[in-house]
Structure 1
Amino acid sequence: MIVIGAGPVGLLMGGLLRRAGIDVEILEQRGHGSGDSRAIGVHAPVLAALEGSGLTAGLLDQAVRVTRGEARAQGRVLGEVRFDRLPARFPFVATLPQSGTEAVFSEAAPVPQRGVSVGALRPGPEHVEVDTGAGPRQAPLVVLAGGPRSRELVYRSTLAHTYPDRYLMTDADVSDEQAFEQQDARTAVVHLEPAGVLESFPLPQGRRRFVAWDSLGTSQDPSSADPTSRDPAAQRDRMERTLAAHGQPLTGQVSGFGVRRFVAPALRDHRLLVIGDAAHEVSPIGGQGMNLGLLDAATLAPLLTAWVRTGTAPESELRRWERARLRSARRAAQLAALNTRLGRPLTPTADSARRGGVRLMLGPGAGRAFAHAYAMGFDAEA
């Protein structure tokens, strides 16, 4: 069997199959790991799904357990999200850099064959033909987990909805408990300001990830955006000023990114299956994109194992898997779209209405449902 892609989803897929005794190879175009990434949170359904494999313990050895989140505006708390009050096996969000997640999954996975580019995939009833730069290959089953850029290998239309929003991101040192408005190490903070959102998430080793709405990088027409918006020095200056307004110094590198939405019409073509961002891409504002892919892999691996062992495709189970994962992706995309809209700059009147709306959403009754949604409680595997 071949898995295409050595990001966290591909590594998990390869590791789960290998653990089940399946002969599997991982092909990866990049010559090295992903390095910096926007994906840092592992949610409760993923931790529960991976507990039996031992991978959850490896993740939790490195991660910060975020038990609550706060929404703030103009220095005041609008409401809180309490993950630690949810009836879940793991009532928190585990945060760690994606490189740490990949390191844990790499311990169980076969070593990826790096520098292998895939030019075409031709699925058929008996095998899948894989065209690579090193020549053609055949495999009885292929799982595509190569991210957004790989989806053109499968889908005729790969058009994604592109949001006008752009964001700046950095990981910064927080030297003591008094830093960043006296937030403790297990609390995530979302500042909803008139000028746009600033998010802050705890990371291991006394660091936090900050994500800020970027005014100069944002435009309905990308060609009309400020020409200095992508300049690294200008991005750093904007992020530095944003953090300084909250008493937080800038200590790390700054990167910018945009957001898109894509949900595929199907995840299977004969013996070819598509998981992760290749199949569904949601705004990272909300932190569920990587988790969707990890749950794709965790729930697909037993079905592929049964297929290989028996020589017969578990058709009804595969159809149920595909429906459930697409339903979960659509729900996550809707929540991510709401998060993106909530974080945009607003006029004073609209900003006041937003503050009132957030207070209601995070108030008694509704707040528990909101926490349930943000913890991926509406995923089919929750």
Structure 2
Amino acid sequence: MRPMPEVAIVGAGPVGLLLGLLLRRQGIDVLLIEQRTTRSGHTRAIGIHPPALAVLDEAGVAPDLIAAGTKITSGLARSGGRELARLDFAAVPGPRQYVLAVPQPVTERVLRTRFLSAGGRVAEGIRIDSVYDGGSSVALCGHPTPGSGIEGKQPGAASGSVRFEARLAIGADGAHSAVAQAVGAETTGRKYPDTYFMGDFADTTGAPDTALLFLEREGIVESFPLPGSIRRWVVRTRRLQTSTVADELAALIKDRTGMHVDPASNSMLSAFSVRSRLVRRMVNGRVALIGDAAHEISPIGGQGMNLGWLDAAALVPIIAGALGGQPSSAALARFER
């Protein structure tokens, strides 16, 4: 039997994968625990900002993602058919003067491949139900998800359950974090009245490297280029859409911007509302929360993913120091701030 990992990370999305990879590059033994056994093909979080690209450089994956992505080098604001403002990202300090657009499945594939090749381990098809901090280690217990193919029990686990143990545990399992619930994390937050209707279509704008913002009386429309001559459109709506139909979104885009998108070219649709949520404590003993598990914000522009990556980068040296026997209380206090 392999010894228990030094760090168990719950959640193998972009944030958990990057944290795992950064830790492996420090020589730390990592186990990723993931509820899903399959991945969505939808583009989802697409925007990678310059500070996050610097972290991806540290992980050694930035070149692969840049090669797979589209560089957004400018922004254009319009209203009523008139140009209001133009922003050139060439003025941004640093070596990366663009926002990189990469579909989330591609980002996850690149990170996962590099994590596994670095010696990381992944346990899939397991939902964590409880977390117990024993003082010198953390026990995480859960159950196999339907269709996971995991049967039986492990030592120390109840019948039909699965148990893991690690010196430290990290919850990177999203806005509905099972780890946050298991440790009883207190949260503050609010729901906003903003609702949006979003979809990906073939790009007909003739602006393959420009983000577009339409400030219209009927509501804001945002648009971002993607690889493969695809474009993300995000339309603010008066209420949350109860059905998502490509023709309806195409009609909204046409009515507000005058731009035609082909409904037949649609490859993703989503309707969502916006809320913010913040845990009162990101660190609970030997358990820490990062990304949306700790602080949920608007998903537009990949903000949550980027902030989660910055969490990961800040946490890695603290974890390495703690595992090496260094005092970590002051560093953890700074991390939480």
Q: 2:333 aligns with which of 312, 319, 323?
A: 319
Q: 1:231 aligns with which of 233, 237, 243?
A: 243
The whole-number CA distance in structure 1 between the counterparts of 2:309 and 2:273 is 22
1:188 maps to 211
Q: 1:160 aligns with which of 151, 166, 189?
A: 189
Question: What one-letter code is carried by the residue in structure 2 that aligns with 1:212?
Answer: V
Look up the SS of the partner of 1:60 in the other structure. helix
The 8 Å contact of residues 16 and 108 in structure 1, kept in 2 or not, is answered as no
> Is 1:248 equivalent to 2:248 in the alignment?
no
Aligned residues: 303
Q: 1:4 aligns with which of 10, 25, 33?
A: 10
Distance 1:201 1:314, change over 3 A: same
The 8 Å contact of residues 243 and 249 in structure 1, kept in 2 or not, is answered as no
The whole-number CA distance in structure 1 between the counterparts of 2:301 and 2:58 is 27
The whole-number CA distance in structure 1 between the counterparts of 2:163 and 2:220 is 48
2:133 maps to 123
Provide TM-score, normalisation by structure 2: 0.84
The whole-number CA distance in structure 2 between the counterparts of 1:273 and 1:89 is 32
2:167 maps to 140
Quote the offset at 1:303 in angstroms.
2.1
1:335 maps to none
1:277 maps to 292
TM-superposition CA deviations, 1:24-63 (whole Å, max 9, x none): 1100111222432531000000111221331111111111
Distance 1:322 1:47, change over 3 A: same
Quote the offset at 1:285 in angstroms.
3.3
Q: 2:19 aligns with which of 3, 13, 21?
A: 13
Question: What one-letter code is carried by the residue in structure 1 that aligns with 2:142?
Answer: T
Look up the SS of the partner of 1:160 in the other structure. strand
Q: 1:172 aligns with which of 201, 213, 227?
A: 201
Look up the SS of the partner of 1:231 in the other structure. coil
Listed as ranges, the matches of 1:292-371 within 5 Å are 292-308=307-323, 310-323=324-337
Provide runs of 4+ in structure 1 moved above 3 Å.
Answer: 154-160
Look up the SS of the partner of 2:191 in the other structure. strand
1:112 maps to 122
Provide TM-score, normalisation by structure 1: 0.75
TM-superposition CA deviations, 1:256-295 (whole Å, max 9, x none): 1111101222211111111000000101235411100011
> Is 1:89 equivalent to 2:95 in the alignment?
yes
Distance 1:287 1:136, change over 3 A: closer
Structure with a larger share of its residues in strand: 2
Structure with a larger share of its residues in helix: 1
1:370 maps to none
Look up the SS of the partner of 2:33 in the other structure. strand
Quote the offset at 1:142 in angstroms.
0.4
The answer for unaligned runs of 5 or more in structure 1 is: 218-228, 324-382
Quote the offset at 1:314 in angstroms.
2.7
The whole-number CA distance in structure 1 between the counterparts of 2:95 and 2:213 is 25
The whole-number CA distance in structure 2 between the counterparts of 1:268 and 1:158 is 13
The answer for unaligned runs of 5 or more in structure 2 is: 1-6, 144-160
The 8 Å contact of residues 140 and 164 in structure 2, kept in 1 or not, is answered as yes
TM-superposition CA deviations, 1:117-154 (whole Å, max 9, x none): 10011224311121211333321100110001113233
- Amino-acid identity (%): 37
The whole-number CA distance in structure 2 between the counterparts of 1:313 and 1:36 is 43
The whole-number CA distance in structure 2 between the counterparts of 1:247 and 1:236 is 12
